[in-house]
């Protein structure tokens, strides 16, 4: 019997299932390297954990609980949820528990802290867990019940996904970033264009993308309906992981004859500053075509774009300038380490002098939780990942997704503004 080759994702899943090979559509039980939850999803998982009669976790070093959505707590309910997380983490001696002062936005924090690494199989009770594919890992979002089972057993069931290959060539223009790449792709294939598929990135263009670009691109794979996004491990990945990861990385690569449902070719040199208009990420247009849209708020941050390169991009554009009158500009470094680095580089002073506010790490405004709720009729340019109806507040508000470069440029003019080339 002739077998075709496996994709990168299929190889990782096969290894964790203890099988020589797997095929798209196959149901498998795989061992997990990490189970993740946050302050919103962990309490639900803890309740299911107890209801199922579990009395212990499979490995205290393979569970991560990050308090990031409503922390510091915004109200009594948020405080109770965080308390439940703290009590669970304490009673089970969870090694990777991140609370106020140590926490950050989960999908920026875990790679930074070396908790995830190449070759891992990761589930998280948060849809943007697919971020870690940037490191050459298989990672995907699950429900809180699956998180509960994963914490207890260290395993999860998967249907092996088929794959779409995105072949990258060229190099991004200086005023563009990974956010413009993934928005362009979602605009091309739609929000269900990769439904339950693996988005696998390859080609000579990959080497020109920074780790922050790759983390951003994989973060939004779910916005195309994908099960996961994944990049090959190369020198950029190795340099990022060197001295950072707790466990030895395991590098997997796709077979030359791996089967893909289709191949999409992207020349990075052709990418332009791109904006996703309300109310779906697939509703994309060049930022240059939206200059007549007046805005009320800008948010620069989130698990998509709160990393150091994002802060640096905002600083380069805003330093020595002023936020437009009538615009609220909120900047949120994604981790405490990034926050500190911004202080040491003088970025925070520049942001404050420009008229922006800077927050401790939080997911707050992204999901309409706190720190930037929109009123009826208000418009926001955000570096977040979703712009569904009511996502950041009132159902009659509007969210425009953009890169940090476009968001910072828009904050200065009060209108959606494409960044100028350096």
Rounded to an integer, the average pLDDT of 115-128 is 97
Please say whether the beta carbons of 109 and 302 come within 8 A: no
d(CA 28, CA 39) in angstroms, rounded, equals 29
Q: What is the pTM of this model?
A: 0.95
Query: For residue 422, what pLDDT band results from cuts at 50, 70 and 90?
Result: low
Q: What is the pLDDT of residue 245?
A: 86
Residue 66: inside a domain: yes
Over the chain, what is the mean pLDDT?
96
Q: What is the pLDDT of residue 246?
A: 77
Residues 245, 282 share a domain? no
Residue 297: inside a domain: yes
Q: How many domains does the chain have?
A: 2
d(CA 413, CA 183) in angstroms, rounded, equals 23
Alpha-helical regions (H) of 52-154: 76-91, 106-112, 144-153
Instruction: Out of 241, 266, 291, pick the residue that ends a domain.
Output: 266
Please say whether the beta carbons of 302 and 69 come within 8 A: no
Query: For residue 2, what pLDDT band results from cuts at 50, 70 and 90?
Result: low
Rounded to an integer, the average pLDDT of 392-421 is 96
Residues 240, 305 share a domain? no
Rounded to an integer, the average pLDDT of 368-389 is 95
Query: For residue 421, what pLDDT band results from cuts at 50, 70 and 90?
Result: confident
Longest dimension (CA), the chain: 69
Residues 323, 223 share a domain? no
Residue 421: inside a domain: no
Please say whether the beta carbons of 272 and 392 come within 8 A: no
Digit-coded pLDDT (tens) for 41-95: 999 999 999 999 999 999 999 999 999 999 999 999 999 999 999 999 999 999 9
Token pair in block for residue 136: 């050459």
Domain range enclosing 361: 273-413
Instruction: Out of 266, 291, 325, pick the residue that ends a domain.
Output: 266
pLDDT at 190 over 60: yes
Residue 2: inside a domain: no
Q: Beta strands of 23-161 (E only): which ranges? A: 27-31, 34-38, 63-66, 96-98, 121-124, 138-141, 155-159
Rounded to an integer, the average pLDDT of 221-243 is 96
Q: What is the pLDDT of residue 188?
A: 95
**Angle at which helices 336-345 and 308-318 pack, to 10 degrees?**
30
Residues 262, 391 share a domain? no
Instruction: Out of 251, 266, 281, pick the residue that ends a domain.
Output: 266
Query: For residue 345, what pLDDT band results from cuts at 50, 70 and 90?
Result: very high
**Angle at which helices 42-51 and 76-91 pack, to 10 degrees?**
50
Residues 307, 234 share a domain? no
Residues 217, 179 share a domain? yes
User: Could you tell me the CATH number of the domain that includes residue 368?
Assistant: 3.30.499.10
Residue 422: inside a domain: no
Residues 36, 145 share a domain? yes
Residues 316, 233 share a domain? no
Looking at the DSSP assignment, which residues form a beta bridge with residue 201? 166
Residue 1: inside a domain: no
Please say whether the beta carbons of 331 and 355 come within 8 A: no
Rounded to an integer, the average pLDDT of 262-272 is 97
Rounded to an integer, the average pLDDT of 137-146 is 97
Residues 390, 280 share a domain? yes
Residues 335, 199 share a domain? no
């Amino acid at each position: 019997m002739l077998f075709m080759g496996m994709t990168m994702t299929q190889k990782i899943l096969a290894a964790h299932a203890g099988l020589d090979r797997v095929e798209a559509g196959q149901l498998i039980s795989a061992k997990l390297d990490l189970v993740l939850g946050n302050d919103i999803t962990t309490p639900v998982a803890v309740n299911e954990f107890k209801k199922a009669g579990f009395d212990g976790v499979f490995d205290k070093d393979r569970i991560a609980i990050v308090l990031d959505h409503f922390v510091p707590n915004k109200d009594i309910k948020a405080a109770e949820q965080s308390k439940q997380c703290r009590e669970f983490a304490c009673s089970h001696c969870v090694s990777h528990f991140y609370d106020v002062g140590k926490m950050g936005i989960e999908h920026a924090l875990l790679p930074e802290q070396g908790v995830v690494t190449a070759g891992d199989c990761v589930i998280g009770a948060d849809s943007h867990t697919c971020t870690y594919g940037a490191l050459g890992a298989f990672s995907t979002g699950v429900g809180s019940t699956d998180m509960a089972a994963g914490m207890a057993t260290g395993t999860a069931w998967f249907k092996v996904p088929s794959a779409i290959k995105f072949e990258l060539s060229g190099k991004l223009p200086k005023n563009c970033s990974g956010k413009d790449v993934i928005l362009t792709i979602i605009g091309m294939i739609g929000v269900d264009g990769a439904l339950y598929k693996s988005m696998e990135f390859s080609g000579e263009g990959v080497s020109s993308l920074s780790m922050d670009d790759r983390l951003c691109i994989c973060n939004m794979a779910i916005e195309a309906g994908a099960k996961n996004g994944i990049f090959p491990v190369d020198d950029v990945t190795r340099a990022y992981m060197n001295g950072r990861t707790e466990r030895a990385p395991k590098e997997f690569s796709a077979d030359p004859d791996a089967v893909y449902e289709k191949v999409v070719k992207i020349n990075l040199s052709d990418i332009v500053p791109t904006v996703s208009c309300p109310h779906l990420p697939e509703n994309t247009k060049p930022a240059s075509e939206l200059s007549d849209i007046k805005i009320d708020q800008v948010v620069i941050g989130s698990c998509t774009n709160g990393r150091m390169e994002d802060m640096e991009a905002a600083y380069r554009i805003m330093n020595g300038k002023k936020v437009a009158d009538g615009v609220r500009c909120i900047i949120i470094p994604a981790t405490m380490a990034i926050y500190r680095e911004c202080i040491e580089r003088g970025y925070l002073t520049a942001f404050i002098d420009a008229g922006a506010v800077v927050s401790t790490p939080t997911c707050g405004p992204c999901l309409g939780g706190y720190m930037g709720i929109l009123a009826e009729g208000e418009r926001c340019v955000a570096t977040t990942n979703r712009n569904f109806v009511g996502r950041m507040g009132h159902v009659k508000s509007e969210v425009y997704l953009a890169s940090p470069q476009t968001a910072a440029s828009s904050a200065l003019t009060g209108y959606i503004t494409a960044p100028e080339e350096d």
